[in-house]
Chains A and B, each alone.
Chain A
């Protein structure tokens, strides 16, 4: 199982948001680090198949994701910003998403119960999502992304809005459940990924500036800062 990104670019009228990205992702956690406006969200959207690239392709198991039904059935996505229907409870929303994800009816309730427990949302399952705190809403978003036990999980700034305790719990949850899947997690906060990511992709001005094995670096923050300060950093691209 691999997700192959080939010559991926996205041009807007006056801006090249993503420039010629090439990388092949294997199972494990891939951190995507970059400042605001670096092109992370645009890249994530193209990986999710909801934004047409100007150039290049994304292949899942060798097949273009745009015409790959398997990809959508094995895919989970949490966008950077998501608002939920005003009238749905947590439970109703997840049941609706389960129907969209074609999760067998007999498995749906068990999966929802399990995720709600892991994400400590059981007590609020009957509440309308709009009435939940920002952190809880974020966890509902994570729950929907994980609902179909995806082989490819794209999380755009998943920890935004979570308190420190929730961040830690989320990191642990992700570390435990990501062995057999490709997880791409974008953030501009180094500490979100430094302990859990297997690889870190650093993005700057739409380009993948560095791809490194996280375990090989004691100080990821230093690398990140040096890239953004335009300092020469003596690291290899893997």
Chain B
């Protein structure tokens, strides 16, 4: 414990750690604020012009405009929404979902008052009764069709999988059904939180994981480079105990930074959008056949927790790299490459694979991150057993933490000075 405290103190006192901590905190807040800037609303003014709203102004306007549409997605609410849509379509002779200020567009003021509150319901109907090639024709949809809305969502899930070469395997489909059965119904709408905001949560996690790798990469290589390792290695606790203590210390420091960063980001983000908006079901924000049985608050928690598991795996991987490399700069470069490698591989092959999942940073990245692994349909199969990809990612991160920890241990204690 004493050595652990000393090692912790040593890492925390390092200028590099302080600088990375400050950057991490600034970026976490900045990205939360930036996410709110992607909200726009064109509001008609009394003089016939459009007043464009941005950022927080738009968020507040949209929140107010949609308040009547919040609540459970019941068959009744769906039918009411469809009825209102069809009535408006018939009344104005144009699609209420295509608003604008010109004569050939649906009147904007009516859109905000009548259509926007039911927008989420209409979008869900569009997906649930649509095809792989396009959305449903809401004017052709009968109210009675909505009696089996949640059944239609499940059928749509199967259709979506059957149309995809990588997903049409019956084992994948039955796994998806099993997962979808756990999704709580009726869905809940609580309009406000956006997909962009979730993208920024994922991006923040990626940055925090990257910062952890950069912070940790020099821990051993710096000592090799400076010759300090020669002195430390000769001491009673300078080998096995040191490497075990060091691993605990780096995990502690990167965890502190990670939770401070992601905690601040989520706090700022949730304050901007409002905590109430997090009651919404994942299926409302993404697609009706998304598999996570979560609301948006739970999704945030899952992303933060899985990001932490990934952060620990990457931290231990970077420590392992540091125990192998004799130069600090090489250790840093290799660690950074390892963080981005899954992104490059995913961009190259365009789908998930066991190879990709085996990388410690597979759960963070641009399009290969945990968020998309949860809301998209991603599976892996070995033998006759099908695994949901997000579970595979977490499983491998835990395994890799142990494996890289053991490798670090053996590499460090066997290291020879030149």
Complex CA distance for A99 and B234, rounded to whole angstroms:
13
Which A residue sits closest to B229, measured CB to CB? Answer: A50
Complex CA distance for A145 and B231, rounded to whole angstroms:
8
Within the complex, the shortest CB–CB distance from B195 to chain A, in Å, comes to 42
Which B residue sits closest to A48, measured CB to CB? Answer: B234
Residues on B with beta carbons closer than 8 Å to the beta carbon of A141: 231
Contact status A99-B3, CB under 8 Å = yes
How many A residues have CB within 8 A of the partner chain?
Answer: 35
How many B residues have CB within 8 A of the partner chain?
Answer: 26
Residues on B with beta carbons closer than 8 Å to the beta carbon of A105: 2
Stretch of A56-64, A76-84, A109-117 lying at the B interface: A76-84
In the complex, B13 has a CB within 8 A of chain A: yes
Write the B368-410 contact mask toward A (1 if CB under 8 angstroms, else 0). 0000000000000000000000000000000000000000000
Given contacts A77-B231, A92-B13, A99-B2, contact A50 B416 (CB under 8 A): yes
In the complex, A73 has a CB within 8 A of chain B: yes
Write the A26-53 contact mask toward B (1 if CB under 8 angstroms, else 0). 0000000000000000000100111110
Which A residue sits closest to B415, measured CB to CB? Answer: A50
Complex CA distance for A73 and B417, rounded to whole angstroms:
20
Within the complex, the shortest CB–CB distance from B190 to chain A, in Å, comes to 48
Main secondary structure of the interface of A (DSSP, over half): mixed
In the complex, A173 has a CB within 8 A of chain B: no
Which A residue sits closest to B3, measured CB to CB? Answer: A99
Residues on B with beta carbons closer than 8 Å to the beta carbon of A96: 6-7, 9-10
**Which among A79, A95, A99, A105 has the highest number of chain B CB atoms within 10 Å?**
A99
Contact status A45-B235, CB under 8 Å = no
Contact status A50-B236, CB under 8 Å = no
Main secondary structure of the interface of B (DSSP, over half): helix
Contact status B416-A82, CB under 8 Å = no
Given contacts A50-B417, A72-B235, A99-B6, contact A85 B14 (CB under 8 A): yes
A77 contact from B6, B10, B234, Cβ within 8 A: B234
Contact status A81-B6, CB under 8 Å = no
Residues on B with beta carbons closer than 8 Å to the beta carbon of A77: 230-231, 234
Which B residue sits closest to A154, measured CB to CB? Answer: B234
Within the complex, the shortest CB–CB distance from A138 to chain B, in Å, comes to 13
Residues on B with beta carbons closer than 8 Å to the beta carbon of A81: 227
Given contacts A77-B231, A82-B228, contact A88 B6 (CB under 8 A): no
Within the complex, the shortest CB–CB distance from A109 to chain B, in Å, comes to 13
Contact status A79-B6, CB under 8 Å = no
In the complex, A144 has a CB within 8 A of chain B: yes
Residues on A with beta carbons closer than 8 Å to the beta carbon of B416: 50-52
In the complex, A97 has a CB within 8 A of chain B: yes
Given contacts A45-B417, A79-B230, A84-B228, contact A97 B10 (CB under 8 A): no
- Give chain B interface residues in 223-241, CB to chain A under 8 Å: 226-238
- Give chain A interface residues in 65-102, CB to chain B under 8 Å: 69, 72-73, 75-79, 81-88, 92, 95-97, 99-102
Contact status A87-B242, CB under 8 Å = no
Residues on B with beta carbons closer than 8 Å to the beta carbon of A69: 236
Contact status A48-B236, CB under 8 Å = no
Within the complex, the shortest CB–CB distance from A144 to chain B, in Å, comes to 6
Complex CA distance for A28 and B416, rounded to whole angstroms:
29
Within the complex, the shortest CB–CB distance from B18 to chain A, in Å, comes to 9
Within the complex, the shortest CB–CB distance from A149 to chain B, in Å, comes to 13
Contact status A51-B13, CB under 8 Å = no
**Which among B5, B13, B235, B416 has the highest number of chain A CB atoms within 10 Å?**
B235
Contact status B231-A87, CB under 8 Å = no
Instruction: For the A-B complex with A87-B13, A105-B2 known, give 15 more contacts whose Cβ atoms are closer than 8 Å.
Output: A48-B233, A49-B233, A49-B234, A52-B416, A77-B234, A79-B230, A85-B228, A88-B10, A92-B9, A92-B13, A100-B235, A100-B236, A100-B242, A102-B237, A148-B236
A contact set with B: CB distance below 8 Å: 45, 48-52, 69, 72-73, 75-79, 81-88, 92, 95-97, 99-102, 105, 141, 144-145, 148
Q: Which 7 A-B pairs have the closest CB atoms?
A: A83-B226, A100-B235, A73-B236, A99-B6, A77-B234, A79-B230, A102-B236
